[in-house]
Amino acid sequence: MPNQNLINLRERITEIDEQLLTLLSKRSDIATEVAKTKLALHKPIRDEIREAELLSALIEKSNALGLDQNYIARVFRLIIEDSVQKQQKWMNQELSSTDSSASRVAFLGPKGSYSHLAARAFGHSHFDKTIECSCHRFDDIFEMVETGHAEYAVVPIENTSSGAINEVYDLLQSTSLSIVGEKIMPIEHCFMGIKPINLDEITTVYSHPQPFQQCSQFLSKYPHWKIVYCESTAAAMEMVYNEQNSSHVAIGSEAGGQIYGLNLIEKVPTNQGQNMTRFVVLHRKPKTIPLHIPTKSTFLMATGQHAGALVEALIILKNHNIVMSKLESRPMKGNPWEEMFYIDVQANLISEEFQEAITHLKSETRFFKVLGSYPVDGILF
Ligand SMILES: C=C(O[C@@H]1C=C(C(=O)O)C=C[C@H]1O)C(=O)O
């Protein structure tokens, strides 16, 4: 016979839990109202400043109430994450009911940049009509898609010579968008000019610092060339076109140069034989990829800070026979001494083994989020 005191106490807990549920449901309804307002105001769903203010106020209050602040931070991060997901889902439904036939693709401009070429290649291979949305900054690209001003974003994530593009990794931490494709583009630098000339006729070379760095060995053979740094390879090509001086050339892509009416003079060898950039395609809704298509998935996780925490998480992948193809880490937003891990695996979100691994990983990590499953190298399903 259970003790009456215990029964009474449990009744009180049950009652409080029910009140918590009602409050969570009320909070969630208000979040949908917030999403409606944001859609009307063209604002993105996620507001990191508001989240940080909310969390620090709650942590302060939790101290005063004698509650553990890590526990409170974890609980409220989960509540906020759920609220963001719900709002994004609601916004997706609204936007898909007013979808236009043309697809808008956002990328880092200006036109003629390598990102533009990647966005264009993606658009051409998937839609009848693409509207190109050139943006000045990476966060503008994410915002365009989050707010429904564009359907897809094409952003570079890593380059074989210069490594990870940290700004993009950091934006992936807080975005509500999903990765739905990847595209690996060879980056071939070319001398582009207003007419074909011999290399010894060149006097001035325009480009972005990166191509200069990537081609430095070849360029050192021509020490008399004047080097002029520009904001982008596209800006360099525009400059050469505007000057109409045949001894001035730009280093950029052949296709980018054609946009500015320039001709290919010669390809420029890079110091490292193969120069490639991997782009990812982002969309508001995740895609389901059939199991027979070779698929990759990317997820984020933050492990606990005890010894061997990362190893334990990776062993879960091994135990489920999941091959990891990439591991990157970046400081966690709002918590710079903790690391967020970005992991690419050769697995499909709908596969049984990956689902099982996810269940285990969720129980072993402090934060876990799948960014998406997508066909290997470029084919958007
Ligand atoms: C509800 C909002 O949207 C998002 C969700 C939040 C929350 O659930 O508290 C806070 C900020 C936003 O990232 C909001 O902007 O207030």
User: Rounded CA gap, 152 and 281, in Å?
Assistant: 7
How far does the centroid of ligand 1 lie from the alpha carbon of residue 289, in Å? 30
What's the Cα-to-Cα distance from 314 to each of 205, 255, 338, rounded to whole Å? 48, 42, 18
Q: Residue 264: which region, alpha, beta or left (left: phi > 0; alpha: psi -120 to 50)?
A: beta
Answer whether 100-187+275-285 and 192-267 agree in fold. yes
Instruction: Tally the C-alpha atoms within 13 A of residue 166's C-alpha that lie toward its C-beta.
Output: 6
The closest residue, in CA terms, to atom 15 on ligand 1 is 47
Strand partners, 373: 297
pLDDT at 360: 96
User: Would you state the CATH architecture of domain 192-267?
Assistant: 3-Layer(aba) Sandwich (3.40)
50 Cβ inside 6 Å of ligand 1: yes
pLDDT at 95: 67
Q: What is the pTM of this model?
A: 0.72
How far does the centroid of ligand 1 lie from the alpha carbon of residue 49, in Å? 10
Find out whether 339 and 260 touch, Cβ atoms under 8 Å: no
Domains in the chain: boundaries: 4-96, 100-187+275-285, 192-267, 288-381
Q: What is the DSSP letter of 200?
A: G
The total of other beta-carbon atoms located within 10 Å of residue 261's CB is: 12
Instruction: List phi, psi (to 5°) of 353.
Output: -65, -35
pLDDT at 160: 84
35 Cβ inside 6 Å of ligand 1: no
> What kind of fold does domain 4-96 have according to CATH?
Chorismate Mutase Domain, subunit A (1.20.59)
> What kind of fold does domain 100-187+275-285 have according to CATH?
D-Maltodextrin-Binding Protein; domain 2 (3.40.190)
User: Rounded CA gap, 354 and 200, in Å?
Assistant: 57
* b/e map 86-97, b = 16+ CB within 10 Å: bbbbbbeeebee
Find out whether 156 and 275 touch, Cβ atoms under 8 Å: no
User: Rounded CA gap, 65 and 76, in Å?
Assistant: 16
| CATH class assigned to 288-381 | alpha beta
How far does the centroid of ligand 1 lie from the alpha carbon of residue 80, in Å? 6
Per-residue pLDDT of the chain (381 residues; tens, 9 = 90+): 679 999 999 999 999 999 999 999 999 999 999 999 988 887 888 888 999 999 999 999 999 999 999 999 999 999 998 898 888 878 767 766 544 457 999 999 888 888 999 999 888 878 878 899 999 889 999 999 999 999 999 999 998 877 889 999 999 999 999 999 999 998 999 999 999 999 999 999 999 888 998 899 999 999 999 999 998 899 999 999 999 999 999 999 999 999 999 999 999 999 888 889 999 999 999 999 888 788 999 999 999 778 889 999 999 999 999 999 999 999 988 777 889 999 999 999 999 999 999 999 999 999 999 999 998 875 443
- Reference 291, options 381, 371, 184, 181; nearest CA is 381
Binding-site residues for substrate, in ranges, read 10, 27, 38, 47, 51, 83, 87
Q: What letter represents residue 287's amino acid?
A: K
How far does the centroid of ligand 1 lie from the alpha carbon of residue 139, in Å? 18
